[in-house]
Amino acid sequence: MCGIFGYVGKKNNAAEIVLEGLKRLEYRGYDSWGVVVEDKACLRVERKAGKIGEAKVSLPSSHVGLGHTRWATHGGVTVQNSHPHLDCTETIALVHNGIVENFSELKKELKEKHRFTSETDTEVIVHLLEDLIQTKNFSEAMREAFKKLIGLNAVVSLKGNQLVVAKNGSPIVLGFGEGEFFVSSDASAILPYTKNVAFLEDNQAAVLDASGIKVFNLSTGVEIEPKTQKLDWEPESAELGNFPHFMVKEIYEQPKILEGIIKTSSRQVEELADFIRSSYGAFLVGCGTAAHAALTGQYLFSRIAKRHVNFNVGSEFGYLEHFLTPRSLVVALSQSGETIDIIDSIKLALEKGAKVASLTNVLGSTLYRMSDYKILLGAGPEKSVCATKSFTAKIALLFLIASQLSGTGKEGVRILEQTVREIKRLLDKETVEKIEKLAEKIKDKNHIYIVGRGLSYPVSMEAALKIKEVSYIHAEGFPGGELKHGVIALIEPETPCLVFAPNDETYGGIISGAMEMKARGGHIIGVSFKDADVFDDWIKVEDTGDGTAITNSIVGQLLAYFLAVKRKCDPDKPRNLAKSVTVK
Ligand code: AGP
């Protein structure tokens, strides 16, 4: 979704700093961009439709700048609709994330005396500000303008040598450097400059200038001491290093992340297990890949802890509110901690008096701040739009929590350690080359079907999602038992059928399904601890008990990656997708 980056401070190349910041936000997904700087009491703007790529800006030197990457909602992908937007006097610039729900009403009133140049909802805010600034100072005018907006929004405006921020929705991070200050929608973009950050809360505003950052209550205007925190991410963790893409870099980071989880999470695992134990009705919610992690969790809690923990996708959760009571526990899974359907789910849970626990990767994210209990995934910045390492980190934690609940915590750790060794073997040359060759073989197919049973069912859906997202091949993951109920009608000679056949109670059933697909001419690719006659291709994954769900997922990730590369798709920035979905 849209990205914001602003700079004010000692350096005079604000435009370049802002452009670099925007590049670091590219992964969030966008279709146009723009930068504004202040130059001798005038504003200089450059805006473009399309990707930043190798673009440079030819803006004058300045100590204050503001930029935006836009993901179109109101109005097409055009230069006129891209941010920053200016007021009629061209002395105020403004960028915005979110949706102004009452924009048509506001526009109707403002149109009488203001010149509108875009179709966006954003432009109404800058004209509102233009009116209010006649009688108020910049920060007061911003607070007043913001109060007139309906919807969840984050807004940053530049006037003179100040940046003013207000928010009640999308994330905003403030960065405190040495004589320089930053505002961004994402902490990883600030990381090269400073690790000292404060996450602006909803209903707060901030003023940034060369002397520092002041934070205010948006409604009352009363100054608040910002809660600064130190990021524990290393700047290079957000860079590509020697890898061609973030997706493959992040796939390779997984053993280290899981080792970190084993080493550092035991206390939190015990505490969350206690929370689940004492709840009366626990729910796991997530969207997309996080939903697949949540469904995996449902299987893990059932198998290991003999406990029913309900799963649902975030966008459907609201329709199940009738089950929530003050004794319920909602465990929300979200890499970004900003996904709107998750935030809405937990708001609902909190309104019902339920407790909320979260597994998120982003310190200070909205989910992190709203949760009664939180565990950080510790996966470092995930820059590829396609989630990989955050998925396996969530499963590892859920596996440890389920083991803890069943009183087999130590055994859980042993299995996870064994799984990490197997991942390292998988990521070694031989298997990776085999998966790459397989991708070459099937890269021109239009459909791939993926089956698994039990714990391998969410793994199949996740593999299908990865393939769809990055290679644009239609892929479907479904439970092996459903084959005969319809999907088998789609199997034609040479249709690739990926079959997850781990050493568990699903083995017999899944091999029978593979035979049925083979009988219709399907090209059977087995992902299993042993070869079988029915497999046309076999990817060996050693048995590591329930940890095999993690290793099997990594096979799906690698296959998706190579399919994308071979089809000349950019795996890090899939079309139409955004890293964090902050609007409905
Ligand atoms: C994953 O590859 C996707 N890009 C997407 O499904 C993602 O997992 C989903 O939007 C949820 O994001 P979150 O974990 O940040 O909440």
Domain's final residue, options 201, 217, 237: 237
Q: Which one is catalytic: 2, 287, 386, 497? A: 2
Nearest CA to ligand 1 atom 16: 334
Q: Are residues 408 and 511 in the same domain?
A: no
Residue 42 bears catalytic tag: no
Domain limits for position 265: 245-427
Q: Are residues 397 and 442 in the same domain?
A: no
Alpha helices in 285-408 (DSSP H): 289-305, 314-317, 340-351, 366-370, 389-405
Domain CATH for 496: 3.40.50.10490
Quick check: is 125 in a domain? Answer: yes
Give pLDDT, residue 24: 87
Q: Is the pLDDT of residue 476 over 90?
A: yes
Quick check: is 457 in a domain? Answer: yes
Burial of 256 (0-12, 13-18, 19+ CB in 10 A): middle
Q: Is the pLDDT of residue 583 over 80?
A: no
Quick check: is 577 in a domain? Answer: no
**pLDDT digits over 298-335, tens only?**
999 999 999 999 999 999 999 988 889 999 999 999 99
Distance from the CA of 578 to the center of ligand 1, in angstroms? 9
Give pLDDT, residue 266: 93
> 576 pLDDT band (50/70/90 cuts)?
confident
Domain CATH for 159: 3.60.20.10
Distance from the CA of 369 to the center of ligand 1, in angstroms? 19
Give pLDDT, residue 238: 74
Mutate which of 339, 340, 468 for ligand 1? The one with the most ligand atoms within 8 Å of its CB, which is 339
Give, for 37, the enclosing helix (H) or strand (E): strand 32-39
Round to whole Å and give the CA distance between 498 and 477.
Answer: 9
- pTM across the whole model: 0.84
Q: Is the pLDDT of residue 20 over 80?
A: yes
Lowest mean pLDDT among 111-115, 120-124, 383-387, 576-580: 576-580
Which residues make beta-bridge pairs with 313?
286
Quick check: is 580 in a domain? Answer: no
Q: Are residues 199 and 273 in the same domain?
A: no
Give pLDDT, residue 57: 87
Quick check: is 584 in a domain? Answer: no
Neighbours of 63 (CB within 10 A): 18
Residue 355 bears catalytic tag: no
**pLDDT digits over 150-204, tens only?**
988 999 999 999 999 999 878 899 999 999 999 999 888 999 999 999 999 889 9
Quick check: is 582 in a domain? Answer: no
**pLDDT digits over 456-466, tens only?**
999 999 999 99
> 359 pLDDT band (50/70/90 cuts)?
very high
- CA 140, distance to chain mean position in Å, is 33
Domain's final residue, options 186, 203, 237: 237
Measured from the CA of 367, which atom of ligand 1 is nearest? 16
> 28 pLDDT band (50/70/90 cuts)?
confident
CA dihedral for 389, 395, 400, 401, sign (positive or negative): positive
Measured from the CA of 287, which atom of ligand 1 is nearest? 11
Give pLDDT, residue 582: 76
Work out how many domains the chain is built from and give that number.
Answer: 3
Distance from the CA of 107 to the center of ligand 1, in angstroms? 34
| Residues 84 and 90 sit within 8 Å (Cβ to Cβ) | no
Measured from the CA of 577, which atom of ligand 1 is nearest? 4
Q: Are residues 423 and 440 in the same domain?
A: no
Q: Are residues 505 and 393 in the same domain?
A: no
Q: What percent of the chain has pLDDT over 70?
A: 100
Average pLDDT value for residue range 73-86: 91
Give pLDDT, residue 186: 87
Average pLDDT value for residue range 51-59: 86
Distance from the CA of 203 to the center of ligand 1, in angstroms? 26
Nearest CA to ligand 1 atom 3: 386
Neighbours of 373 (CB within 10 A): 15
Distance from the CA of 297 to the center of ligand 1, in angstroms? 16
Q: Are residues 362 and 504 in the same domain?
A: no
Give pLDDT, residue 385: 92
Round to whole Å and give the CA distance between 206 and 217.
Answer: 9
| Residues 552 and 500 sit within 8 Å (Cβ to Cβ) | yes
Measured from the CA of 342, which atom of ligand 1 is nearest? 16
Measured from the CA of 390, which atom of ligand 1 is nearest? 14
Distance from the CA of 581 to the center of ligand 1, in angstroms? 8
Q: Which one is catalytic: 374, 484, 579, 584? A: 579
What are the backbone dihedrals phi and psi of residue 39, each rounded to the nearest 5 degrees, phi first?
Answer: -140, 110
**pLDDT digits over 215-243, tens only?**
999 999 999 999 898 887 777 777 888 99
Q: Is the pLDDT of residue 470 over 80?
A: yes
Measured from the CA of 387, which atom of ligand 1 is nearest? 2
> 252 pLDDT band (50/70/90 cuts)?
very high
| Residues 385 and 257 sit within 8 Å (Cβ to Cβ) | no
**pLDDT digits over 383-423, tens only?**
899 999 999 999 999 999 999 999 999 999 999 999 999 99
Mutate which of 296, 335, 346 for ligand 1? The one with the most ligand atoms within 8 Å of its CB, which is 335
Lowest mean pLDDT among 310-319, 386-395, 430-439, 496-505: 310-319
Q: Are residues 121 and 146 in the same domain?
A: yes
Q: Is the pLDDT of residue 468 over 90?
A: yes
Q: Are residues 525 and 455 in the same domain?
A: yes
> 371 pLDDT band (50/70/90 cuts)?
very high
Neighbours of 409 (CB within 10 A): 18
Distance from the CA of 293 to the center of ligand 1, in angstroms? 11
Give, for 55, the enclosing helix (H) or strand (E): none
Distance from the CA of 387 to the center of ligand 1, in angstroms? 6
Round to whole Å and give the CA distance between 159 and 525.
Answer: 60
- Selected residue with higher pLDDT from 1 and 381: 381
Quick check: is 470 in a domain? Answer: yes
Q: Are residues 411 and 437 in the same domain?
A: no
Q: Are residues 230 and 259 in the same domain?
A: no
Measured from the CA of 286, which atom of ligand 1 is nearest? 16
Nearest CA to ligand 1 atom 10: 288
Q: Is the pLDDT of residue 551 over 80?
A: yes
Mean pLDDT for the chain overall: 94
Residues with CB under 6 A from ligand 1: 287-290, 334-336, 339, 342, 385-387, 469, 577, 580-581
Which residues make beta-bridge pairs with 331?
284, 357
Quick check: is 579 in a domain? Answer: no
Q: Is the pLDDT of residue 261 over 90?
A: yes
Q: Are residues 403 and 466 in the same domain?
A: no
Q: Are residues 232 and 253 in the same domain?
A: no
Strand-pair category, 309-313 with 212-217:
unpaired
Q: Is the pLDDT of residue 426 over 80?
A: yes
Mutate which of 1, 185, 251, 289 for ligand 1? The one with the most ligand atoms within 8 Å of its CB, which is 289
Give pLDDT, residue 30: 84
Q: Is the pLDDT of residue 584 over 80?
A: no
Round to whole Å and give the CA distance between 423 and 514.
Answer: 25
Closest CA to 390 of 374, 402, 377: 377
Mutate which of 186, 315, 336 for ligand 1? The one with the most ligand atoms within 8 Å of its CB, which is 336
Distance from the CA of 579 to the center of ligand 1, in angstroms? 7
Domain's final residue, options 375, 398, 427: 427
Q: What percent of the chain has pLDDT over 90?
A: 85
Q: Is the pLDDT of residue 55 over 90?
A: no
